[in-house]
Each structure stands twice: as C-alpha cells, then as structure tokens.
Structure 1
Amino acid sequence: MRQLAAVIVGALVGTALRLGVDVLVGTPLSTLLINIAGSFALALLVARLWPTATPVLRAALGPGLLGTFTTFSAVAVALVSLSAAGEWMPALAYLAATLIGGLAAAFLGLRLGRRR
C-alpha cells in the first residue's frame, strides 16, 4: 500500500512538471526534451540510488515521478500528427532524435551515476 501511495505522490509531481515544460516550451519539442531528460534522470537514479533505495522511494521516483513525466504516448501522437500532415521527414527526424537522444542520455546517466 505504501508503494502505491508513493507512485501516486510521484505521479502528481511528474505530471505537473510535464505540463509546466509543455507550457513553457510547446510540443512536440517539449516531448523530445522531456523524454531525453527523463532517460538521463532515470538512468542516473538507477545507477546511483537504486542499490540502496527503499522500494517505496524507487516506486515514487521510477513509475511515479519519471513514469508520468516521460511518456511514449506523447511521442506517438507527435509522430502521427506529423505524418498525417505529410511531414514524413520531420517525423523520421523526430523519431531518430527521440531514440538516439534518449539512449545517449540513459548511457550518460548510467555512466555518471556509477559509484567509483
């Protein structure tokens, strides 16, 4: 029950942060930036914090905060919107930037988060 409550509290914060970035930056660029930043943050937390974190803290930060901050559904909507408008090259570029940026950010987060 404590883990569920932690996910709910984390989700409230993650959703509010996401909306704030969406309002400030505007979609679909905000979705790209959010997903890259979220990939980095989650990887950094997994490398640095997960080994010693309680299950409640992991639930709050992983599926709660970062699970609601980053969303694949927003990427899918951006891709469908671009392709429906006949913007195939921007859609492919957006997909490539999302995948490459997210993977690079996760790699960097894991690397920086390693204990030395």
Structure 2
Amino acid sequence: MRLAPAVFLGGTVGTGLRLGIDLALPHADTAFPASTLIANTIGAFVLGWLVAGLWTRPGLPAWVKATLGTGLLGSFTTYSAVMVSLVALGAAGFPALGWGYLAATLLLGFGAAALGLRLGALHRVLPEIPDAGGTP
C-alpha cells in the first residue's frame, strides 16, 4: 500500500500526457488511430530503456519504479484502446485497416522496446571494482 501514492502520481501525469497526444491527433472511430500507436510506441521504448538502464542502478527505490513504470507508463500506454480501435475499424467495414493497425502496433511496439532495451543497457551503471593495489 505504500507504493499506491507513487502509482497514483505517475498515473495522473501519464494520463495527462496521453490526453495531450489524443487532443493533438484526434481521429474518428473509422480512421487510423495514430495517437494510440504513437503513445504505445513511445511507451514501449521508454519502458525498455528504463528496464535496461535505470532499473539496474543499485539502490533504486521501489517508488521510482512504481511511479514511472506502473503509474506513468501504465496510464500513458493503453492495450484497451488498441482493442477498441480494432473492433471499431472492423465493425465500420475497414478490416484491412484494422489488420494494418495491429501489425503496425506489434512491429513498432516490439521494435521500440528492443531499441529502448539496447540504449538503456548502454547507460547501465556498473558497480565500481576496487583497485587491488597500485594501478600506475
């Protein structure tokens, strides 16, 4: 229960950021949901970067992970919005657009997560190795 305020705070910020993308890139139910695709791709990249980079730092408090991962990115990215868009596109008679959207979501999401993991690993903090005696 101690982490609930951290998740709440992150969720509030993530929801606001997501709303900003949705307002900047509005779309009808029968149009390509670019805002959802962009938010989920960005979220996959950032979470990959955090997991491989920041999460590996010794002593990182659990509230930081809860705030950024579960709260902020959990509310910023939305699996449910992907499913609603797929159903809406299919019901509106645009199944090919729905399949294209699903393919783009999967390819960009996995690609962004992989890139985030790779870049996060480059910035990983390694523990210091004590000098065992007299390096010149």
The TM-score bracket by the shorter chain reads over 0.9
Counting only pairs closer than 5 Å after superposition, residues 1-116 of structure 1 correspond to structure 2 as 1-27=1-27, 28-52=33-57, 53-115=60-122
Q: Using the alignment, how far apart are the partners of 2:101 and 2:61 within structure 1?
A: 36
Cα deviation for residue 115 of structure 1 reads 3.4
Cα deviation for residue 48 of structure 1 reads 0.7
Could you list the runs of 5+ residues in structure 1 that have no partner in the other structure? Answer: none
- TM-score (ref. length: structure 2): 0.82
- TM-score (ref. length: structure 1): 0.96
List, as ranges, runs of 4+ consecutive aligned residues in structure 1 with deviation greater than 6 Å.
none
Could you list the runs of 5+ residues in structure 2 that have no partner in the other structure? Answer: 28-32, 124-136
**Greater C-alpha radius of gyration:** 2
Q: For residues 50-101 of structure 1, give each alpha carbon's deviation from its aligned partner in whole angstroms, at most 9, with x where no partner exists.
A: 1222110000001100000001000001000000011011000000000000
Q: Using the alignment, how far apart are the partners of 1:115 and 1:93 within structure 2?
A: 33
One-letter identity of the residue aligned with 1:104? G
One-letter identity of the residue aligned with 1:77? V
Q: Percent identity?
A: 53
- Report how many residues are paired: 116
Q: Using the alignment, how far apart are the partners of 2:15 and 2:25 within structure 1?
A: 15
One-letter identity of the residue aligned with 2:10? G
Larger mean Cα displacement after TM superposition, 24-33 or 54-63: 24-33
Structure with greater proportional helix content:
1
Cα deviation for residue 2 of structure 1 reads 3.1
